[in-house]
Amino acid sequence: MASLDHMVINDEYYTSRSTWELIINYIPEETIVLEPFKGNGASIESLIELGLNVMTSDYEDAYDQIEETDEYDMILTNPPWNSNSLKQFLNVLKEVDKPFILILPITKICSKYFKDCFQDIQIIIPRSRISFINIDNKKQPSFPSVFVCYKMYLEKDIIYL
């Protein structure tokens, strides 16, 4: 099983439509969503099929698009989980200060770098472990993931699905 301590660069876990279906009702209608890490494109297709207005970019220019365009209302993504990429991404999110929903391993919100960027968050905890699509057909991660929300103004700070 993959673990956060042993993840390698080619451990790519994409988000399934069924995962996005869990939180679709928490995204206000008419919201323009930026999904900066399009991966294999399946996540974008799923979000569009679920009725969202979605913008995307290539990984190489994801940070530039987040910082340089104001055409989106919120960020909705399953970002890279390795510490260096996630630190950089969180710092960009902190700078733009827009609403977001991220899929992250629950342990990431306990990291110093996460707490340095965000403390006022809300969490949506799925009833069962999130399943991911893995391009290498590897087993699912052994750790639970949650939806980390910022400026989404949910009715409670912790929502159990």
Separation CA 121–CA 101 (nearest Å):
10
CB atoms within 10 A of CB 23: 19
Q: What total of structural domains would you count in the chain? A: 1
pLDDT digits (tens, 9 = 90+) for 117-143: 998 999 999 999 888 777 666 666 678
The CATH number of residue 51's host domain is 3.40.50.150
Separation CA 122–CA 86 (nearest Å):
18
Beta strand pairing call for 100-105 and 145-150: antiparallel
Range(s) of the domain holding residue 123:
13-160
pLDDT digits (tens, 9 = 90+) for 19-38: 999 999 999 999 999 999 87
Examine residue 8 and state whether it is found in any structural domain, yes or no.
Answer: no
* Burial of 50 (C-beta count, 10 Å sphere; 0-12/13-18/19+): middle
Give this prediction's pTM. 0.88
